[in-house]
């Protein structure tokens, strides 16, 4: 099968040719209308959109000052050699002028550091870009499409969201309209304008591939298939209404070039960050003092959670922090923060981080088979304390492992105080299912399914009653973190 191209006047049509049979061909005089190729409809025309938004997209060039020594190449090395050879000052060259002793005074020279993109968000010269575009730069220059160049001031940059705000001196500058990234839809057309490989005002197009894509960063990103390459960073992602919905920030690639997947910072979050950067030059975020992890299906089912894997599992509560004061415990499943559902664990730090410092919030947690509301006061990030283990007395060597594969003993009173718990047991040995799950001597067991573990006797008795056909979960503390582990008891 091959592709053949036909030309009819000003139009060019393509047809697939298989052997000698033409599947379709361009209409010519005398042929019936049914033979005509169907018209292509629905493809977007970006020309007017680009004319409208293009002037507000800028090229960003960064430089750094490097200390450069003056003199011809190799001059310093030759002077050092002559001084060592003659045992003192080097002989004067012809002309009578003695060489200068010591090294020549270094001078600073401005060298180009990198190139990126950005866009103007107000007529008085506020510019948005990525934090990584201006990171480490001594000077930042903004060039517009009409070739005007400005020396920009970096008002602030936030590495967590990869957003930076610049200011250039200007009036009645072209600016972009800010859209609503919460209203974007998967499949809608978008364009990117930027300076890939320093090719200014390059336009690429594509569709939104996914929303709220978690990439391990602070916030969920917009995924698209718009071609984005080095130099596009900081440029706008624009919808068909000419509104900015994101800042192009990352690509997924194995080679360093475009690979069909690019990510943009949602403009709603970017503007919240920008407002703080303009006012104070930094971003202040709230915290409640917990470490969290993803909730898996087996743990959720064992705890009786009908919401499935929605929620965030509390792995650690920082001693003395807001969550500790509110009564949160390791093993709690956070379901809501101030009424907002926690669909995935990454939702929690974004909700808490966006809360005002000193504000009060209600956290809904799943604990022992029921939902509990706990009031908490949001604070700024503080130093964290860590919990330590403490000495323990092991179970006798001939103690048999229970159906979950554990040999356990009671925690001492001193250890309970150190760990901040009222009960629990320490693992003296792990075998069978426990060993296969990676559990080991020294781990602390705090909860079995929805019941707290009081001591070794109570824990072993509860394990003996477990149904071997069903998986159970044990809340395991190791060091400063705790996590539910799913185990299926062995049949006796």
Residue numbers in the known binding site for substrate are: 132, 162, 231-233
If DSSP states are collapsed to H, E and C, what string results for the chain? CEEEEEEECCEEEEEEEECCEECCCCCCCCCCHHHCCCCCCCCCCCHHHHHHHHHHEEEEEEEEEEEECCCCCCHHHHHHHHHHHHCCCCCCCCCCCCCCCCCCCCEEEEEEEEEEEEEECCCCCEEEECHHHHCCCCEEEEECCCCCEEEEEEEEEECCCCEEEEECCCCCCCCCEECCHHHCCCCCEEEEEECHHHCCCEEEEEEEEEEEECCCCCCCEEEECCCCCCCCCCCEEEECCCEEEEEEEEECCCCCCCCCCEEEEEHHHHHHHHHHHHHHCCCCCCECCEEEEECCHHHHHHCCCCCCCCCEEEEEECCCCHHHHHCCCCCCEEEEECCEECCCCCHHHHHHHCCCCCCEEEEEEEECCEEEEEEEECECCCCCCCCCCCCCCCCCCCCCCCCCCEEEEECCHHHHHHHCCCCCEEEEEECHHHHHCCCCCCCEEEEECCEECCCHHHHHHHHHCCCCCCCEEEEEEECCEEEEEEECCCCC
Active site residues: 132, 162, 233
Binding site, annotated residues: 132, 162, 231-233
């Amino acid at each position: 099968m091959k592709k053949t191209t036909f030309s009819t006047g000003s139009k060019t049509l393509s047809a697939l040719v298989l052997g000698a049979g033409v599947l379709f061909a361009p209409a010519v005089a005398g042929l019936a209308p049914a033979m005509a190729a169907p018209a292509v409809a629905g493809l977007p025309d970006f020309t007017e959109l680009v004319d409208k938004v293009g002037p507000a997209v800028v090229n960003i060039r960064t430089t750094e000052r490097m200390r450069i020594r003056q003199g011809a190449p190799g001059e310093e090395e030759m002077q050092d050699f002559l001084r060592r050879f003659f045992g003192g000052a080097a002989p004067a060259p012809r002309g009578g002028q003695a060489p200068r002793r010591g090294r020549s005074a270094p001078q600073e020279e401005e060298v180009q550091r990198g190139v990126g993109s950005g866009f103007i968000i107000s007529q008085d010269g506020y510019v948005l870009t990525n934090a990584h575009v201006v990171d480490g730069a001594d000077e930042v220059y903004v060039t517009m499409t009409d070739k005007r160049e400005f020396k920009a001031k970096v008002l602030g940059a936030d590495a967590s969201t990869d957003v930076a705000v610049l200011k250039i001196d200007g009036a009645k500058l072209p600016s972009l309209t800010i859209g609503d990234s919460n209203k974007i839809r998967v499949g809608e057309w978008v364009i990117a304008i930027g300076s890939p490989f320093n090719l200014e005002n390059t336009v690429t197009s594509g569709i939104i591939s996914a929303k709220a894509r978690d990439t391990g960063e602070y916030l969920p990103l917009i995924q698209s298939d718009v071609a984005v390459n080095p130099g596009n960073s900081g440029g706008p992602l624009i919808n068909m209404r000419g509104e900015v919905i994101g800042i192009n920030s990352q690509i997924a690639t194995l080679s360093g070039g475009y690979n069909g997947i690019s990510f943009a910072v949602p403009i709603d979050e970017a503007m919240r960050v920008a407002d703080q950067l303009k006012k104070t030059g930094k971003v202040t975020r709230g915290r409640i003092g917990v470490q969290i992890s993803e909730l898996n299906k087996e743990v959720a089912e064992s705890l009786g959670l009908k919401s499935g894997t929605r929620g965030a599992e509390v792995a650690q509560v920082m001693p003395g922090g807001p969550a500790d004061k509110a009564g949160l415990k390791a093993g709690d499943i956070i379901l809501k923060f101030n009424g907002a559902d926690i669909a995935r664990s990454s939702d929690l730090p974004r909700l808490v981080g966006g809360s005002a410092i000193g504000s009060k919030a209600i956290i809904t947690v799943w604990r022992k088979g029921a939902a509990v509301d706990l009031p908490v006061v949001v604070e700024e990030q503080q130093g964290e304390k860590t919990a330590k283990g403490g000495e323990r007395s092991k179970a006798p060597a001939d103690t048999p492992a229970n159906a979950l594969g554990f040999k356990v003993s009671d925690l001492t009173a001193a250890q309970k105080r150190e760990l901040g718990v009222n009960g629990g047991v320490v693992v003296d040995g792990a075998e069978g299912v426990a060993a296969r799950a990676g559990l080991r001597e020294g781990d602390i067991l705090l909860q079995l399914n929805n019941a707290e573990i009081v001591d070794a006797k109570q824990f072993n008795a509860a394990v003996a009653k477990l149904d071997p056909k069903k998986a159970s979960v044990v809340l395991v503390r190791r060091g400063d973190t705790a996590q539910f582990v799913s185990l299926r008891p062995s049949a006796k």
